[in-house]
Protein backbone atom coordinates (compact mmCIF):
# COMPACT_ATOMS: atom_id res chain seq x y z
CA UNK A 1 0.00 0.00 0.00
CA UNK A 2 1.40 3.41 -1.00
CA UNK A 3 1.87 6.41 1.29
CA UNK A 4 -1.13 8.18 -0.21
CA UNK A 5 -3.39 5.20 0.45
CA UNK A 6 -2.12 5.02 4.02
CA UNK A 7 -2.81 8.72 4.52
CA UNK A 8 -6.33 8.50 3.12
CA UNK A 9 -7.14 5.36 5.09
CA UNK A 10 -5.96 6.74 8.42
CA UNK A 11 -7.65 10.05 7.71
CA UNK A 12 -10.98 8.33 7.18
CA UNK A 13 -10.62 6.76 10.61
CA UNK A 14 -9.70 10.11 12.16
CA UNK A 15 -12.56 11.88 10.39
CA UNK A 16 -15.07 9.52 11.95
CA UNK A 17 -13.80 10.65 15.35
CA UNK A 18 -13.78 14.35 14.28
CA UNK A 19 -10.00 14.56 14.71
CA UNK A 20 -9.84 16.76 11.64
CA UNK A 21 -6.98 19.24 12.03
CA UNK A 22 -4.24 16.59 12.41
CA UNK A 23 -5.81 14.63 9.56
CA UNK A 24 -5.83 17.64 7.25
CA UNK A 25 -2.16 18.27 8.02
CA UNK A 26 -1.36 14.61 7.37
CA UNK A 27 -2.95 14.65 3.92
CA UNK A 28 -1.17 17.92 3.12
CA UNK A 29 2.22 16.29 3.75
CA UNK A 30 1.53 13.72 1.02
CA UNK A 31 1.74 16.46 -1.63
CA UNK A 32 0.11 16.77 -5.02
CA UNK A 33 -0.65 13.06 -5.44
CA UNK A 34 -2.94 13.04 -2.40
CA UNK A 35 -4.52 16.31 -3.52
CA UNK A 36 -5.24 14.86 -6.95
CA UNK A 37 -6.80 11.80 -5.32
CA UNK A 38 -9.06 13.93 -3.15
CA UNK A 39 -10.15 16.03 -6.13
CA UNK A 40 -10.76 13.01 -8.35
CA UNK A 41 -12.74 11.19 -5.67
CA UNK A 42 -14.83 14.00 -4.23
CA UNK A 43 -14.60 16.69 -6.95
CA UNK A 44 -13.70 19.16 -4.23
CA UNK A 45 -13.49 22.90 -4.89
CA UNK A 46 -10.65 25.00 -3.49
CA UNK A 47 -11.74 28.24 -1.82
CA UNK A 48 -9.43 31.15 -1.01
CA UNK A 49 -11.89 33.48 0.74
CA UNK A 50 -12.82 35.50 -2.34
CA UNK A 51 -15.63 38.00 -1.78
CA UNK A 52 -17.06 37.24 -5.23
CA UNK A 53 -20.59 35.93 -4.80
CA UNK A 54 -20.19 33.38 -7.62
CA UNK A 55 -17.16 31.90 -5.92
CA UNK A 56 -19.08 31.67 -2.66
CA UNK A 57 -22.05 29.97 -4.28
CA UNK A 58 -19.82 27.47 -6.08
CA UNK A 59 -18.00 26.78 -2.83
CA UNK A 60 -21.16 26.21 -0.82
CA UNK A 61 -22.24 23.62 -3.35
CA UNK A 62 -18.84 22.01 -3.74
CA UNK A 63 -17.56 22.23 -0.17
CA UNK A 64 -20.22 23.11 2.40
CA UNK A 65 -22.95 21.43 0.39
CA UNK A 66 -21.42 17.99 0.02
CA UNK A 67 -24.24 15.44 0.01
CA UNK A 68 -22.56 12.23 -1.12
CA UNK A 69 -24.39 9.48 0.80
CA UNK A 70 -21.29 7.50 1.78
CA UNK A 71 -19.53 10.44 3.49
CA UNK A 72 -19.68 10.64 7.28
CA UNK A 73 -20.00 13.99 9.05
CA UNK A 74 -16.31 13.77 9.84
CA UNK A 75 -15.46 13.07 6.19
CA UNK A 76 -17.36 16.16 5.08
CA UNK A 77 -15.65 18.32 7.68
CA UNK A 78 -12.22 16.99 6.77
CA UNK A 79 -12.64 17.55 3.05
CA UNK A 80 -14.21 20.97 3.49
CA UNK A 81 -11.49 22.36 5.75
CA UNK A 82 -8.77 20.79 3.61
CA UNK A 83 -9.99 22.77 0.58
CA UNK A 84 -9.69 26.16 2.30
CA UNK A 85 -6.71 28.17 1.07
CA UNK A 86 -5.05 31.54 1.76
CA UNK A 87 -7.44 33.91 3.58
CA UNK A 88 -10.09 31.24 4.03
CA UNK A 89 -7.57 28.84 5.56
CA UNK A 90 -6.31 31.57 7.90
CA UNK A 91 -9.90 32.34 8.94
CA UNK A 92 -10.57 28.68 9.72
CA UNK A 93 -7.39 28.36 11.77
CA UNK A 94 -8.19 31.52 13.75
CA UNK A 95 -11.70 30.34 14.55
CA UNK A 96 -10.47 26.89 15.54
CA UNK A 97 -7.92 28.52 17.86
CA UNK A 98 -10.68 30.24 19.83
CA UNK A 99 -12.60 27.02 20.46
CA UNK A 100 -12.15 25.05 23.66
CA UNK A 101 -11.11 21.84 21.92
CA UNK A 102 -9.94 23.47 18.69
CA UNK A 103 -12.39 21.50 16.57
CA UNK A 104 -15.57 22.13 14.58
CA UNK A 105 -18.46 19.78 14.13
CA UNK A 106 -19.78 19.64 10.55
CA UNK A 107 -22.88 21.65 11.50
CA UNK A 108 -20.79 24.28 13.29
CA UNK A 109 -18.48 24.59 10.28
CA UNK A 110 -21.38 25.18 7.87
CA UNK A 111 -22.91 27.81 10.15
CA UNK A 112 -19.60 29.62 10.62
CA UNK A 113 -18.75 29.40 6.90
CA UNK A 114 -22.13 30.78 5.85
CA UNK A 115 -21.93 33.57 8.40
CA UNK A 116 -18.47 34.60 7.18
CA UNK A 117 -18.76 34.20 3.42
CA UNK A 118 -22.42 34.07 2.48
CA UNK A 119 -24.47 36.88 3.99
CA UNK A 120 -28.08 36.50 5.09
CA UNK A 121 -29.06 39.16 2.55
CA UNK A 122 -27.64 37.12 -0.33
CA UNK A 123 -29.30 33.93 0.93
CA UNK A 124 -32.66 35.73 1.16
CA UNK A 125 -32.25 37.02 -2.39
CA UNK A 126 -31.55 33.50 -3.63
CA UNK A 127 -34.61 32.18 -1.77
CA UNK A 128 -36.76 34.89 -3.38
CA UNK A 129 -35.31 34.03 -6.78
CA UNK A 130 -36.25 30.40 -6.21
CA UNK A 131 -39.80 31.24 -5.17
CA UNK A 132 -40.30 33.22 -8.41
CA UNK A 133 -38.58 30.71 -10.70
CA UNK A 134 -40.50 29.80 -13.89
CA UNK A 135 -39.54 27.69 -16.89
CA UNK A 136 -40.55 30.23 -19.54
CA UNK A 137 -38.21 29.72 -22.53
CA UNK A 138 -35.97 27.19 -20.78
CA UNK A 139 -35.91 23.52 -21.63
CA UNK A 140 -37.02 21.16 -18.86
CA UNK A 141 -33.38 20.21 -18.24
CA UNK A 142 -32.33 23.87 -17.96
CA UNK A 143 -35.26 24.66 -15.67
CA UNK A 144 -34.49 21.63 -13.48
CA UNK A 145 -30.83 22.70 -13.19
CA UNK A 146 -31.82 26.17 -11.97
CA UNK A 147 -34.48 24.69 -9.67
CA UNK A 148 -31.95 22.35 -8.04
CA UNK A 149 -29.32 25.08 -7.73
CA UNK A 150 -31.68 27.50 -5.97
CA UNK A 151 -33.73 25.02 -3.92
CA UNK A 152 -31.05 24.71 -1.25
CA UNK A 153 -31.62 28.36 -0.31
CA UNK A 154 -35.32 27.74 0.37
CA UNK A 155 -35.42 24.32 1.98
CA UNK A 156 -38.57 25.24 3.92
CA UNK A 157 -40.43 25.31 0.59
CA UNK A 158 -39.25 21.90 -0.59
CA UNK A 159 -38.61 19.88 2.57
CA UNK A 160 -41.09 17.18 1.50
CA UNK A 161 -41.06 15.23 -1.76
CA UNK A 162 -44.66 16.16 -2.56
CA UNK A 163 -43.97 19.85 -1.91
CA UNK A 164 -40.88 19.79 -4.11
CA UNK A 165 -42.71 18.04 -6.95
CA UNK A 166 -45.64 20.46 -6.70
CA UNK A 167 -43.42 23.54 -6.77
CA UNK A 168 -41.52 22.19 -9.77
CA UNK A 169 -44.83 21.57 -11.54
CA UNK A 170 -46.12 25.08 -10.81
CA UNK A 171 -43.07 26.61 -12.48
CA UNK A 172 -43.45 24.69 -15.72
CA UNK A 173 -44.99 26.10 -18.90
CA UNK A 174 -48.82 26.27 -18.72
CA UNK A 175 -49.29 23.54 -21.33
CA UNK A 176 -47.10 21.21 -19.26
CA UNK A 177 -49.07 21.95 -16.09
CA UNK A 178 -52.33 21.12 -17.88
CA UNK A 179 -50.98 17.72 -18.91
CA UNK A 180 -49.17 16.80 -15.68
CA UNK A 181 -51.38 18.17 -12.89
CA UNK A 182 -54.10 15.47 -13.26
CA UNK A 183 -51.46 12.76 -12.75
CA UNK A 184 -51.03 13.79 -9.08
CA UNK A 185 -47.31 12.94 -9.11
CA UNK A 186 -45.93 12.55 -5.59
CA UNK A 187 -42.13 12.60 -6.06
CA UNK A 188 -39.74 15.14 -7.52
CA UNK A 189 -37.75 12.65 -9.60
CA UNK A 190 -40.90 11.29 -11.24
CA UNK A 191 -42.19 14.81 -11.91
CA UNK A 192 -38.97 15.77 -13.68
CA UNK A 193 -38.96 12.56 -15.72
CA UNK A 194 -42.59 13.01 -16.80
CA UNK A 195 -41.93 16.64 -17.76
CA UNK A 196 -38.95 15.61 -19.87
CA UNK A 197 -40.96 12.88 -21.60
CA UNK A 198 -43.77 15.34 -22.28
CA UNK A 199 -41.29 17.83 -23.70
CA UNK A 200 -39.87 15.17 -26.02
CA UNK A 201 -43.37 14.21 -27.18
CA UNK A 202 -44.35 17.82 -27.84
CA UNK A 203 -41.12 18.47 -29.74
CA UNK A 204 -41.76 15.40 -31.89
CA UNK A 205 -45.33 16.50 -32.59
CA UNK A 206 -44.17 19.99 -33.54
CA UNK A 207 -41.63 18.56 -35.97
CA UNK A 208 -44.27 16.36 -37.61
CA UNK A 209 -46.65 19.31 -37.92
CA UNK A 210 -43.88 21.43 -39.41
CA UNK A 211 -43.08 18.83 -42.05
CA UNK A 212 -46.78 18.38 -42.88
CA UNK A 213 -47.34 22.12 -43.28
CA UNK A 214 -44.24 22.43 -45.47
CA UNK A 215 -45.47 19.57 -47.65
CA UNK A 216 -48.93 21.17 -47.97
CA UNK A 217 -47.42 24.49 -49.03
CA UNK A 218 -45.18 22.78 -51.59
CA UNK A 219 -47.96 20.67 -53.12
CA UNK A 220 -50.40 23.61 -53.12
Query: Measured between alpha carbons, how far is 26 from 43 in angstroms, rounded to an integer?
Result: 20
In eight-state DSSP terms, residue 134 is: -
Q: Check residue 166 and give its pLDDT.
A: 98
The pLDDT tens digits for 84-114 are 888 888 988 898 888 877 678 888 888 888 8
**Under 8 Å between Cβ of 197 and 173:** no
- pLDDT greater at residue 165 or residue 62: 165
Q: Which of 112, 111, 65, 75 is nearest to 92 (CA)?
A: 112
Q: Check residue 21 and give its pLDDT.
A: 44
Q: Check residue 23 and give its pLDDT.
A: 43
**Under 8 Å between Cβ of 77 and 15:** yes
Alpha-helical (H) ranges within 83-160 are 86-98, 106-117, 120-131, 140-151
Helix (H, G, I), strand (E, B) or coil at 84: strand
pLDDT tops 80 at residue 218: no
Q: Check residue 159 and give its pLDDT.
A: 92
The pLDDT tens digits for 136-173 are 999 999 999 999 989 988 989 999 999 999 999 999 99
Q: Check residue 179 and give its pLDDT.
A: 98
pLDDT category of residue 18 using cuts at 50, 70 and 90: very low
Under 8 Å CB-to-CB from 55, ≥6 apart: which residues? 47
**Under 8 Å between Cβ of 106 and 77:** yes
Q: Which of 135, 167, 170 is nearest to 151 (CA)?
A: 167
In eight-state DSSP terms, residue 195 is: H
pLDDT tops 90 at residue 204: yes
Helix (H, G, I), strand (E, B) or coil at 47: strand
Summary mean pLDDT of the chain: 77
Query: Measured between alpha carbons, how far is 80 from 197 in angstroms, rounded to an integer?
Result: 38
Question: What is the mean predicted confidence (pLDDT) over 73-89?
Answer: 82
pLDDT category of residue 67 using cuts at 50, 70 and 90: low
- pLDDT greater at residue 128 or residue 45: 128
| Cβ atoms within 10 Å, residue 91 | 16
Q: Check residue 151 and give its pLDDT.
A: 93
pLDDT tops 70 at residue 202: yes
pLDDT category of residue 175 using cuts at 50, 70 and 90: very high
Amino acid sequence: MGSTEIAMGSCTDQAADHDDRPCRDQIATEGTVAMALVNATYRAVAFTGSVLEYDQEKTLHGIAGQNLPYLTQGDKLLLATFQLEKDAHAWCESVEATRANGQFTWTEFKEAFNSKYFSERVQERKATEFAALKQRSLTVAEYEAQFSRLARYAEHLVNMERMKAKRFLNGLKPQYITQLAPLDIQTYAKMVKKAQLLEDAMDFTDRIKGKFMKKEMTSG
